[in-house]
Amino acid sequence: MRLHSVLVVCAAISANWAQFANADDPKTAPSIAEMMKKELAPKLVTIQAEKIKLHDALRQLAKQTGIEVEDRRKPENVNDPEIKLDLKKVTFWQALDQIARETDLRVNLYQRGGVIALTEGPNTNLPISYDGLFRTVVRRVTAIHDLETDQHFCLITLEIAWEPRFHPLFLESKPLNLDVRDDNQEAIRPEEDSGGKIPVQGKVATTVEVRLPAPVRRSVSLGKLKGSLLLTGPTKMIDFEFDTLAKEKAAKDPKLTKDGVTVKLRKLDLAADHWTIEVGLEYPEDGPKFESFQSWVVNNKCLLKAGDGDELFESNGGYSIDSLGSSKAVLSYHFVDGTLRKTVDGKPVTRRFVRGKPENWKLVYRTPGPMAEVPVTFDFKDVPLP
């Protein structure tokens, strides 16, 4: 297991975040770095058994990592084979790939609902590189001859996946520090590419293409393909819980701060036919910078929580982004009486929602924690060429 990505990002941001931990005590900065290291560290798996059924192995995987993997084979193909596993302190992705190999199934990252699933095989021996909570796969190598320009080049499709508890917002499309060599270890210099940030919110995987000049014809493989991809996002989502709506409306400038992130209740409009809650967000200015068209609040949720219960109701009247900057934002959320679709135990259900009295509700606001740029390294050898 490698914690390269974790250590790099911690070192890069710990100094910048010292002011948000305790302005009078810079010694608290290491504690923030430790927090980041803990949040980004992969969950490790140990399953050692001469015989274990597939579904028992998936249950053990979920128990040790908190990540559910579904068996989504066709009903007529579903069985529960026994396999041998010798996994000791490996990452989630290493464990899942080994289970898939032993059962001759495929790991599928593009199923409905965004779940990770095993589907019909056969299992394919693809080039795979692991880096902590990340998994990078060479999905495709395409040789292209552009007849108009008479150029020969190849496109390498890389798929990067992450543990679902990580919620990245963007992926830099241009890999960094690329080192590519043919099977004689002759360097292949990548073509210049301006790159840009690709939205990846709501996913567990995405793909990016690397364009290279075509290797010489005698080459049958890439002897080396090494570099890194840069993901931008929070290490975790943070819940801010405010007191009852009635009290917060009466309060002056109600706000809460956690880990350097501040959530303000700028306005509460508790009308008879609707409620509108205007929320202001402030993030550390030393974090990653976003363009005006790059929304970093798409995963945010405004929720109502009954004072005597744990059930959360998401805004059902829509929301609007009133202003959006690189480190600040203002959003408005609307609640009306009616029905809400919720997910309970993995299944969609419909709940009747009646606002009633403001004093009966607490407000929970869920927003990303401090943002970080997380480098994900990949290192492949002997990648077959077409």
Same domain, 22 and 83: yes
Band (67; pLDDT cuts 50, 70, 90): very high
Looking at the structure of the chain, the number of domains it has is 3
Same domain, 115 and 159: no
Same domain, 341 and 273: yes
Same domain, 254 and 314: yes
Same domain, 152 and 222: yes
> Domain of 99?
4-124
Per-residue HEC secondary structure of the chain comes to CCCHHHHHHHHHHHHHHHHHHCCCCHHHHHHHHHHHHHHHCCCEEEEEEEEEEHHHHHHHHHHHHCCCEEECCCHHHCCCCEEEEEEEEEEHHHHHHHHHHHHCCEEECCCHHHCEEEECCCCCCCCEEEECCEEEEEEEEEEEEECCCCEEEEEEEEEEEECCCCCCCEEECCCEEEEEEECCCCECCCCCCCCCEEECCCCCEEEEEEEEECCCCCCCEEEEEEEEEEEEEECCEEEEEEEEHHHHHHCCCCEEEECCEEEEEEEEEECCCCEEEEEEEECCCCCCCCCCCCCCCCCCEEEEEECCCCCEEECCCCEEEEEECCCEEEEEEEECCEEEEEEECCEEEEEEECCCCHHHEEEEEEEECCEEEEEEEEEECCEECC
The pTM (predicted TM-score) of the whole model is 0.79
Same domain, 249 and 359: yes
Same domain, 191 and 297: no
Same domain, 100 and 197: no
The per-residue pLDDT for range 224-275, each reduced to its tens digit, is: 999 999 999 887 889 999 999 999 998 988 999 998 899 999 999 999 999 9
Q: What mean pLDDT do residues 116-139 have? A: 96
Band (12; pLDDT cuts 50, 70, 90): very low
**Domain final residue, candidates 67, 99, 124:** 124
Same domain, 23 and 118: yes
